[in-house]
């Protein structure tokens, strides 16, 4: 049976309210040291996954051994973010919220953003922190949002072609966005219904959580 998951990484800890908002997911998974954040807020992870080199003795002793999944302790097979996402797929997770995947390590942030593409056809992922919610657009997205909501359209890797939008202050029509060439930064919702279509390429939708009411309601 398809399941949802809250996945906590070892980046900048999310605010308590944000963690508690998604704590009702079917599974709580932690990428290695992300378990410290969950435990600090009184949440018990279902599984802690990774090479476990960031997990201190106190956290290890607080978790039953069967919930600790050591994957590639030598660290040769990718980051802990990849390892926890691979395990999520094996656990029949189809949708997940990623908290603690941003922060001061820009190298990890850039890699984590690329994972939105890597796992796109296996997991519906949202990466959220105190300031922003990021998802990869699957060719077409429709949503309700408050007027004035700020958002950005960011090409992930290479040009994104055939972008058309409605409901935004600066509309696009069969446009091309490309890194370092043309951006879609700081657009604004001007109608209750927003539609974005993508012809080809990988486009991130970044919703500013400190703008308007900071959320969108996805429509079929």
Tell me, what CATH number does 175's domain have? 3.40.50.10240
pLDDT tens per residue, range 13-72: 999 999 999 999 999 999 999 999 999 999 999 999 998 988 888 888 888 989 999 887
User: Can you tell me the distance from the alpha carbon of 2 to that of 43, in angstroms, rounded to the nearest whole number?
Assistant: 22
Q: Which residues fall within 8 angstroms of residue 182, CB to CB, at 6 or more apart?
A: 175, 176
Considering the domain architecture, whether residues 108 and 168 belong to the same structural domain is answered as no
Predicted TM-score (pTM) of this structure: 0.94
DSSP 128-172: E-SSEEEEE--SEEEEEE-TT-EEEEEESSS-EEEEEEESBSS--
Domain that holds residue 153: 136-219
Indicate the residue among 106, 130, 154 that finishes a domain.
130
Considering the domain architecture, whether residues 123 and 146 belong to the same structural domain is answered as no
Q: Which of 67, 132, 95, 80 is nearest to 3 (CA)?
A: 95
Cα distances (angstroms) measured from residue 118 to each of 46, 65, 123, 207: 24, 30, 9, 21
- For residue 53, the model assigns a pLDDT of 87
Considering the domain architecture, whether residues 12 and 95 belong to the same structural domain is answered as yes
Confidence band, pLDDT 50/70/90 cuts, at residue 75 = low
């Amino acid at each position: 049976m398809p399941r949802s998951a809250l996945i906590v990484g070892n980046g900048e800890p999310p605010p308590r309210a944000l963690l508690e908002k998604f704590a009702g997911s079917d599974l709580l998974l932690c990428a290695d040291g992300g378990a410290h954040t969950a435990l600090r807020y009184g949440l018990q992870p279902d599984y802690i996954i990774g090479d476990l080199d960031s997990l201190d003795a106190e956290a290890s002793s607080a978790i039953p051994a069967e919930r600790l999944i050591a994957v590639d302790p030598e660290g040769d097979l990718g980051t802990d973010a990849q390892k926890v996402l691979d395990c999520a797929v094996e656990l029949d997770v189809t949708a997940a919220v990623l908290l603690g995947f941003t922060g001061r390590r820009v190298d990890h942030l850039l890699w984590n953003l690329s994972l939105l593409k890597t796992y796109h056809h296996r997991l519906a992922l949202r990466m959220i922190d105190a300031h922003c919610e990021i998802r990869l657009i699957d060719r077409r997205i429709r949503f309700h949002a408050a007027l004035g909501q700020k958002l950005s359209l960011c090409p992930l890797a290479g040009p994104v072609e055939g972008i058309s939008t409605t409901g935004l202050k600066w509309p696009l029509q069969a446009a091309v966005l490309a890194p370092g060439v043309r951006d879609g930064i700081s657009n604004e919702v001007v109608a209750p219904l927003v539609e974005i279509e993508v012809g080809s390429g990988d486009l991130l939708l970044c919703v500013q959580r400190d703008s308007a009411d900071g959320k969108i309601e996805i429509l079929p």
